[in-house]
Amino acid sequence: MDTHPLALNLDIDAVRGMLGGWITQPTDAGLLARAMAKTMASTVLDAGHDVIVPQFLGRRQFVVDLETVADASGAEFVEVALLATRQQMRLWFVERSTSAIVTATQRDAQLLVDRPGGWEALDEMYDDFVELVRSRPRTRTIPARDGDTDDSYRRLERALAGDHGSVSSMTGRCNLPERSAHEESP
């Protein structure tokens, strides 16, 4: 983000975490955080800057809402999904939540998984995400590679620049291993 002055790194989990006692009302907190995020994105886009939403987005309506915000601001909406297998997703989630340096966002994510439904709910989110990516044919996909964030970032930059040779096409893809969605308005 340092190379994109005044771009907004809009982490909805961080926005939700700013709401007092959100864990006792996660559904309401999520709805409020998404509403706040749309307003924040609109403000930044209207000022002529970029917005990136770097996280799992499994709610189709929120993706459509972000696209609408970008369109209303005259910004291009580019949807990129970072894909991993279910096994990778589970492993990374465990590693992230048990690492020595655990951020508040990571801790909060673990709290949600520890609630009723736990891993089953996480697997359901994964399945919903896979279906969402499949249903959005303009989504550009990047295969996640364990421990290679620099390569993933370079692939993301190429995807945002429209270089489809560096990303996977969704067309005709049957075996879609998957993970996190990224929405951007460059």
Would you write out the chain's pLDDT as a tens digit for each of its 186 residues? 677 889 999 999 899 999 999 989 989 999 999 999 999 999 999 999 999 998 877 788 999 999 999 999 999 999 999 888 998 888 877 776 666 656 776 676 667 667 667 778 888 888 999 899 999 999 998 888 777 778 888 888 888 887 654 333 332 222 333 333 333 333
Number of domains present in the structure of the chain: 1
Nearest to 7 by CA among 105, 75, 58: 75
Residue 65 in any domain: the answer is yes
Please give the residue range of the domain that contains residue 111.
8-148+177-185
Q: Are 96 and 106 in contact (CB under 8 A)?
A: yes
Residue 101 buriedness (CB in 10 A; 0-12 / 13-18 / 19+): exposed
Residue 110 in any domain: the answer is yes
Q: Are 122 and 90 in contact (CB under 8 A)?
A: yes
Residue 169 in any domain: the answer is no
pTM score of the predicted model? 0.75
